[in-house]
Amino acid sequence: MKACIQMLMAATFLFGSTATFAWSAPGHETVGSIADSLLVGTNAAKAVKTILGNENLQTASVWADCAKGVTEKPPLKYVVNPKFTECQPFETAAGEAQMVDFVTRNLSACMPAPGDESCHRQYHFSDVAIERNAYARSEIGTSDHDIVSAINAAIAVLQGGSSPSPISFTSKQEALRVLAHYVGDIHQPLHVAAIYLDTSGHEVDPDAGAYDPATKTQGGNKLLDQGKDFHTTKWDAIPASLTAAKFKGAVTQAKRVPPTPGPLNQWAAAWASDTVLASHTAFSGLTFGPENTTNGTWPVTEPTGYSTAKAKLQKKQLVKAGARLAQLLQAIFP
Ligand SMILES: [Zn+2]
């Protein structure tokens, strides 16, 4: 009976999943490149070199998204998408086998709820309600396989320990690749916080009273801005001026980001809390229409000046992410 339910759940998430990429590849590459620059000449840079070989953090930063190219129905295999040129370094026989192995171990052990994505796809985000002022594991939208849990699992492996179930990272190479990605994601406001809406498009607080999963906007993936996915087109995409090649002064700004206080295993939660606050700016002034019940989406309208405010916040978050990735690696490899 239990196996039947598991299979049914597996089938539901396999067919019901939606694509979620936090930051586009350029956003992640910016974060990785800032960290690469900050680490020059440090012991952490030596450790990165030992673990990743010729791959730097900029290149490694997209690996966790590239692994989404592995099919999730047996037999699992990696399918090349020529659109994602950033994945080319991993598209060798050995590289593809690594991605298949990673996805196989991180597909369903977290027991995805009906309609939820497979486990490794859930490692990229949490859905803390924008009514909150901090991340806490007691809140709706958090789990033992959300972004905070995934970062902590990667830290544990890099420190020589093992990743707590249901997460399975089995080598330092894998842990560092995903860490370089997730530290980017945890600074993308819509990958940490989410708005929950009723069918009329009114904001609801999922932590107050009985929680209705139908109110979940999936980190804004179910919000449509003039027909386009608000999460992807507005927040994952970054202005050309913020790409690794063009972002002037990024490293100088990153050097000013203060270190995170407290033990390492509390840093990810602290960063998530900081991003929950950033999400208040990201959602400021947005208005929502009634749900389109045919496809389960809500229309969103931006206030005047939204794009400028958004780009400013993206810049700040990318800088913080690059700085904190470097700080974390220096703390792990002093
Ligand atoms: Zn991601």
Instruction: State the distance from the centre of ligand 1 to the C-alpha of 124, rounded, in angstroms.
Output: 5
pTM value is: 0.93
Instruction: State the distance from the centre of ligand 1 to the C-alpha of 120, rounded, in angstroms.
Output: 10
Instruction: State the distance from the centre of ligand 1 to the C-alpha of 185, rounded, in angstroms.
Output: 5
Instruction: State the distance from the centre of ligand 1 to the C-alpha of 21, rounded, in angstroms.
Output: 5
What pLDDT tens digit does each residue of the chain (334 aa) get?
Answer: 333 333 333 333 333 333 344 578 999 999 999 999 999 999 999 999 999 999 999 999 999 999 999 999 999 999 999 999 999 999 999 999 999 999 999 999 999 998 899 999 999 999 999 999 999 999 999 999 999 999 999 999 999 999 999 999 999 999 999 999 999 999 999 999 999 999 999 999 999 989 999 999 988 889 999 999 999 999 989 999 999 999 999 999 999 999 999 999 999 999 999 999 999 999 999 999 999 999 999 999 999 999 999 999 999 999 999 999 999 999 999 9
Instruction: State the distance from the centre of ligand 1 to the C-alpha of 5, rounded, in angstroms.
Output: 29
Instruction: State the distance from the centre of ligand 1 to the C-alpha of 332, rounded, in angstroms.
Output: 22
Instruction: State the distance from the centre of ligand 1 to the C-alpha of 320, rounded, in angstroms.
Output: 16
Instruction: State the distance from the centre of ligand 1 to the C-alpha of 65, rounded, in angstroms.
Output: 6
Instruction: State the distance from the centre of ligand 1 to the C-alpha of 1, rounded, in angstroms.
Output: 34
The pLDDT of residue 295: 92
Instruction: State the distance from the centre of ligand 1 to the C-alpha of 58, rounded, in angstroms.
Output: 14
The pLDDT of residue 23: 72
The pLDDT of residue 2: 34
Instruction: State the distance from the centre of ligand 1 to the C-alpha of 126, rounded, in angstroms.
Output: 11
Instruction: State the distance from the centre of ligand 1 to the C-alpha of 53, rounded, in angstroms.
Output: 23
The pLDDT of residue 22: 52
Instruction: State the distance from the centre of ligand 1 to the C-alpha of 54, rounded, in angstroms.
Output: 22
Contact between 287 and 304 under an 8 Å Cβ cutoff? The reply is no
Instruction: State the distance from the centre of ligand 1 to the C-alpha of 17, rounded, in angstroms.
Output: 15
Q: To which residue do tokens 């690469």 refer?
A: 36
Instruction: State the distance from the centre of ligand 1 to the C-alpha of 307, rounded, in angstroms.
Output: 22
Instruction: State the distance from the centre of ligand 1 to the C-alpha of 89, rounded, in angstroms.
Output: 18
Instruction: State the distance from the centre of ligand 1 to the C-alpha of 146, rounded, in angstroms.
Output: 11
Instruction: State the distance from the centre of ligand 1 to the C-alpha of 309, rounded, in angstroms.
Output: 23
The pLDDT of residue 14: 34
